[in-house]
Amino acid sequence: MIFKRNFLRDFYQNLDKKELPLEAEKHKPSVIKLPKAADIESLFHSMTPYFDSDKVPARELMQLKLHEGVYSLLSIDKRFYPALFDFTEPWKIDILDYMDENYMFDLSVEAIAGFTGRSLASFKRDFKKISELPPQKWLIDKRLKVAHEKIHNDSMKVSDVYLEVGFKNLSHFSSAYKKQYGIAPSK
């Protein structure tokens, strides 16, 4: 189960604040093995039929299961309160590492900013510190470099490479490649 920030914020807003254990400390390890507990077992048993069939559960039902999941964690250990309801600045991941691993996917700059834990404005500001190119041009440059290597070193066909590196259109890929390397990729 994944509890997104917006879901946890809404959950927290509706929580009776008198129940909050203010003295609870966060768990120190980042991975916690949950003890065997009836409420956790029951939660996952109730969802098992959906994994074994083509039936997609209703969105409202999944919302209830997410609520059940949070309540189950909170009943197991009060240290989940500060972990789940810490809404300070999200953890940021390295921009270049993320982009190097995901350059081939059709992601907008806004999506990349969100995935790296930043607003669009802070993403652009942080990106300027690490690259002279704007993010979109960096992506095109990265895709072209990888394509160039695959064509020359791996002897791959242009028709296979352009899609693999994230271009959607062969003619756009060919013109960008020719502009960067001075020769058509097919040559």
- Token couple for 154: 């791996």
CATH number at 130 reads 1.10.10.60
Q: What are phi and psi of 153, to 5 degrees?
A: -90, -35
**Per-residue confidence in pLDDT tens, the chain, 187 aa:** 888 878 888 888 888 767 667 666 766 666 778 889 999 999 989 988 888 788 888 889 999 999 999 999 988 888 888 878 776 655 678 888 889 999 999 889 999 998 888 889 999 999 998 889 999 999 999 999 999 999 888 888 898 899 999 989 899 999 999 999 998 888 8
Same domain, 43 and 80: yes
The total number of structural domains that make up the chain = 2
Residue 81 CB partners (closer than 8 Å, separation 6+):
20, 21, 24, 74
Domain boundary among 37, 55, 84: 84
Q: What are phi and psi of 166, to 5 degrees?
A: 110, 5
Same domain, 156 and 133: yes
Domain range for 57 is: 5-84
